[in-house]
Amino acid sequence: MNRRIFMGAGVVAAAALVGVGEYLMISRTEPPTPLTGGVGGAFRLIDDNGKPFTNRDLLGKPAMIYFGYTFCPEVCPTTLTHMSAWLHALGPEAGKLRAVFVTIDPARDTAVKMKEYLSGFDPNIIGLTGTPAEIATIARDYKVYYKKVPIPGGSYTMDHSSFIYLMTAKGDLAGLIDYGEPDTKAMAAIRRLLRS
Protein backbone atom coordinates (compact mmCIF):
# COMPACT_ATOMS: atom_id res chain seq x y z
CA MET A 1 0.00 0.00 0.00
CA ASN A 2 2.71 2.43 1.05
CA ARG A 3 4.73 1.30 -1.89
CA ARG A 4 1.83 2.05 -4.25
CA ILE A 5 1.37 5.55 -2.82
CA PHE A 6 5.10 6.14 -3.13
CA MET A 7 5.09 5.00 -6.76
CA GLY A 8 2.04 7.12 -7.47
CA ALA A 9 3.76 10.19 -6.00
CA GLY A 10 6.83 9.42 -8.08
CA VAL A 11 4.76 9.31 -11.28
CA VAL A 12 3.09 12.62 -10.41
CA ALA A 13 6.46 14.24 -9.63
CA ALA A 14 7.96 12.91 -12.88
CA ALA A 15 4.98 14.17 -14.86
CA ALA A 16 5.31 17.59 -13.22
CA LEU A 17 9.02 17.71 -14.09
CA VAL A 18 8.35 16.72 -17.68
CA GLY A 19 5.60 19.34 -17.81
CA VAL A 20 7.87 22.08 -16.47
CA GLY A 21 10.70 21.04 -18.78
CA GLU A 22 8.40 21.10 -21.76
CA TYR A 23 7.03 24.51 -20.76
CA LEU A 24 10.53 25.96 -20.38
CA MET A 25 11.59 24.48 -23.70
CA ILE A 26 8.61 25.90 -25.53
CA SER A 27 8.76 29.30 -23.83
CA ARG A 28 12.46 29.62 -24.58
CA THR A 29 12.47 28.58 -28.20
CA GLU A 30 8.96 29.22 -29.50
CA PRO A 31 6.86 32.34 -29.13
CA PRO A 32 3.46 32.38 -27.42
CA THR A 33 0.43 32.35 -29.66
CA PRO A 34 0.11 35.62 -31.59
CA LEU A 35 -3.44 35.90 -30.27
CA THR A 36 -2.15 37.01 -26.85
CA GLY A 37 -0.93 40.58 -26.72
CA GLY A 38 -1.38 41.51 -30.38
CA VAL A 39 1.13 41.63 -33.20
CA GLY A 40 2.61 44.12 -35.63
CA GLY A 41 5.06 46.99 -35.66
CA ALA A 42 7.24 49.04 -37.96
CA PHE A 43 9.09 47.15 -40.68
CA ARG A 44 10.99 47.99 -43.82
CA LEU A 45 11.23 45.29 -46.51
CA ILE A 46 11.27 45.05 -50.31
CA ASP A 47 8.55 43.54 -52.49
CA ASP A 48 9.06 41.01 -55.28
CA ASN A 49 9.68 43.85 -57.73
CA GLY A 50 12.53 45.09 -55.53
CA LYS A 51 10.57 48.17 -54.38
CA PRO A 52 10.45 49.28 -50.72
CA PHE A 53 7.46 48.00 -48.75
CA THR A 54 6.87 49.15 -45.18
CA ASN A 55 4.24 48.63 -42.48
CA ARG A 56 2.51 51.77 -43.82
CA ASP A 57 1.90 50.00 -47.14
CA LEU A 58 -0.25 47.47 -45.28
CA LEU A 59 -2.69 50.09 -43.97
CA GLY A 60 -5.94 51.19 -45.60
CA LYS A 61 -7.03 47.68 -46.57
CA PRO A 62 -7.37 44.47 -44.57
CA ALA A 63 -4.62 41.98 -45.25
CA MET A 64 -3.84 38.29 -45.00
CA ILE A 65 -0.16 37.65 -44.31
CA TYR A 66 1.69 34.36 -44.53
CA PHE A 67 5.27 33.70 -43.46
CA GLY A 68 7.06 30.87 -45.29
CA TYR A 69 9.86 30.07 -47.74
CA THR A 70 10.20 28.77 -51.28
CA PHE A 71 12.36 25.72 -50.39
CA CYS A 72 9.31 24.35 -48.51
CA PRO A 73 7.87 21.43 -50.53
CA GLU A 74 4.45 21.05 -48.96
CA VAL A 75 3.05 23.48 -46.39
CA CYS A 76 3.98 26.73 -48.16
CA PRO A 77 2.87 25.86 -51.70
CA THR A 78 -0.32 24.32 -50.26
CA THR A 79 -1.06 27.47 -48.25
CA LEU A 80 -0.34 29.76 -51.22
CA THR A 81 -2.56 27.54 -53.39
CA HIS A 82 -5.39 27.94 -50.89
CA MET A 83 -4.82 31.70 -50.60
CA SER A 84 -5.02 31.85 -54.41
CA ALA A 85 -8.27 29.87 -54.42
CA TRP A 86 -9.80 32.15 -51.75
CA LEU A 87 -8.82 35.27 -53.72
CA HIS A 88 -10.34 33.70 -56.83
CA ALA A 89 -13.54 32.88 -54.91
CA LEU A 90 -13.80 36.50 -53.71
CA GLY A 91 -14.04 37.69 -57.33
CA PRO A 92 -13.99 41.51 -57.60
CA GLU A 93 -13.86 41.77 -53.79
CA ALA A 94 -10.32 40.36 -53.89
CA GLY A 95 -9.15 43.89 -54.70
CA LYS A 96 -10.27 45.00 -51.22
CA LEU A 97 -7.85 42.59 -49.56
CA ARG A 98 -4.05 42.58 -49.50
CA ALA A 99 -2.40 39.16 -49.71
CA VAL A 100 1.22 38.99 -48.62
CA PHE A 101 3.85 36.22 -48.53
CA VAL A 102 6.82 37.13 -46.31
CA THR A 103 9.89 34.90 -46.55
CA ILE A 104 11.59 33.74 -43.36
CA ASP A 105 14.52 32.49 -45.50
CA PRO A 106 15.91 35.76 -46.92
CA ALA A 107 19.31 34.19 -47.67
CA ARG A 108 17.75 32.12 -50.47
CA ASP A 109 14.53 34.04 -51.21
CA THR A 110 15.64 37.12 -53.10
CA ALA A 111 13.07 39.45 -54.67
CA VAL A 112 13.76 37.84 -58.06
CA LYS A 113 13.26 34.34 -56.63
CA MET A 114 10.03 35.39 -54.89
CA LYS A 115 8.66 36.94 -58.10
CA GLU A 116 9.39 33.81 -60.14
CA TYR A 117 7.88 31.53 -57.47
CA LEU A 118 4.76 33.65 -56.98
CA SER A 119 4.10 33.68 -60.75
CA GLY A 120 2.55 30.24 -60.12
CA PHE A 121 -0.09 31.72 -57.78
CA ASP A 122 -2.73 34.46 -57.71
CA PRO A 123 -1.19 37.68 -59.11
CA ASN A 124 -2.54 39.68 -56.13
CA ILE A 125 -0.11 37.96 -53.75
CA ILE A 126 2.78 40.29 -52.89
CA GLY A 127 6.11 38.70 -51.98
CA LEU A 128 8.26 40.41 -49.34
CA THR A 129 11.91 39.85 -48.47
CA GLY A 130 14.71 41.81 -46.83
CA THR A 131 17.97 41.48 -44.98
CA PRO A 132 18.16 38.80 -42.27
CA ALA A 133 17.92 41.60 -39.66
CA GLU A 134 14.83 43.12 -41.33
CA ILE A 135 13.14 39.71 -41.49
CA ALA A 136 14.06 39.10 -37.84
CA THR A 137 12.32 42.35 -36.91
CA ILE A 138 9.01 41.59 -38.63
CA ALA A 139 9.10 37.99 -37.38
CA ARG A 140 9.63 39.17 -33.81
CA ASP A 141 6.82 41.72 -34.03
CA TYR A 142 4.40 39.20 -35.56
CA LYS A 143 5.50 36.48 -33.10
CA VAL A 144 6.58 34.25 -35.97
CA TYR A 145 8.86 31.41 -34.97
CA TYR A 146 11.51 30.38 -37.49
CA LYS A 147 14.72 28.41 -37.24
CA LYS A 148 17.29 27.15 -39.74
CA VAL A 149 17.79 23.35 -39.60
CA PRO A 150 20.70 21.83 -41.58
CA ILE A 151 20.00 18.68 -43.61
CA PRO A 152 22.49 16.24 -45.18
CA GLY A 153 24.19 17.54 -48.33
CA GLY A 154 24.85 21.05 -47.01
CA SER A 155 21.35 22.42 -47.49
CA TYR A 156 18.79 23.36 -44.83
CA THR A 157 15.08 23.53 -44.11
CA MET A 158 13.28 26.06 -41.93
CA ASP A 159 11.03 25.32 -38.99
CA HIS A 160 8.38 28.03 -39.05
CA SER A 161 4.97 29.15 -37.79
CA SER A 162 2.31 28.13 -40.27
CA PHE A 163 -0.57 30.54 -39.54
CA ILE A 164 -2.10 33.06 -41.92
CA TYR A 165 -2.53 36.39 -40.12
CA LEU A 166 -5.71 38.34 -40.76
CA MET A 167 -5.02 42.04 -40.21
CA THR A 168 -7.52 44.92 -40.20
CA ALA A 169 -7.10 48.03 -42.37
CA LYS A 170 -5.75 49.77 -39.24
CA GLY A 171 -3.08 47.14 -38.73
CA ASP A 172 -4.62 45.20 -35.84
CA LEU A 173 -4.72 41.41 -35.67
CA ALA A 174 -8.26 40.21 -36.45
CA GLY A 175 -7.54 36.48 -36.31
CA LEU A 176 -5.48 33.57 -37.57
CA ILE A 177 -6.17 30.87 -40.14
CA ASP A 178 -4.51 27.59 -39.14
CA TYR A 179 -2.81 25.31 -41.64
CA GLY A 180 -5.36 22.87 -43.04
CA GLU A 181 -8.35 25.02 -42.03
CA PRO A 182 -11.32 24.04 -44.22
CA ASP A 183 -11.93 26.46 -47.10
CA THR A 184 -15.46 27.32 -45.90
CA LYS A 185 -14.17 28.35 -42.46
CA ALA A 186 -11.28 30.33 -43.94
CA MET A 187 -13.59 32.10 -46.42
CA ALA A 188 -16.02 33.01 -43.61
CA ALA A 189 -13.13 34.55 -41.64
CA ILE A 190 -11.95 36.50 -44.71
CA ARG A 191 -15.45 37.80 -45.46
CA ARG A 192 -15.81 38.87 -41.81
CA LEU A 193 -12.48 40.68 -42.11
CA LEU A 194 -13.63 42.47 -45.27
CA ARG A 195 -16.80 43.68 -43.48
CA SER A 196 -14.86 44.90 -40.41
Partner 1 sequence: MTRMTRALALAGAMMVAGSAYAQPVKLGALTITSPWVRPTPPGAPSAAGYLNIVNHGSVTDRLVGATTPDAASVQVHEMSMTSNGVMKMRPVPGGLAIPPGKTVALAPGGYHLMIIGPTQEFKAGESVPVTLIFKHAGKVAVSFPVANGPAKPAGAMGAMPGMTMGAMPGKAPAKP
Give the whole-angstrom CA distance, residue 13 versus residue 18: 9
**Binding residue (CB under 8 A) for partner 1 from 3, 5, 182, 195:** 182
**Binding residue (CB under 8 A) for partner 1 from 64, 80, 102, 139:** 80
CB contact at 8 A, 114 and 79? no
Task: Name the minimum Å distance from CB 112 to partner 1.
Answer: 9
Q: Tell me the number of residues near partner 1 by CB under 8 A.
A: 46
**Binding residue (CB under 8 A) for partner 1 from 145, 168, 187, 194:** 145
Residue 183 in the binding site for partner 1 (CB under 8 A): yes
Among 148, 146, 126, residue whose Cα is nearest residue 137: 146
CB contact at 8 A, 89 and 187? yes
Type of residue found at 124: N
CB contact at 8 A, 189 and 166? yes
Residue 163 in the binding site for partner 1 (CB under 8 A): yes
Among 64, 152, 160, residue whose Cα is nearest residue 105: 160
Residue 71 in the binding site for partner 1 (CB under 8 A): yes
Would you tell me which residues interact with partner 1 (CB under 8 A)? 26, 30, 32-33, 70-75, 77-78, 80-82, 84-85, 88, 108, 113, 116-122, 145, 149, 151-153, 155, 157, 159-163, 176, 178-183
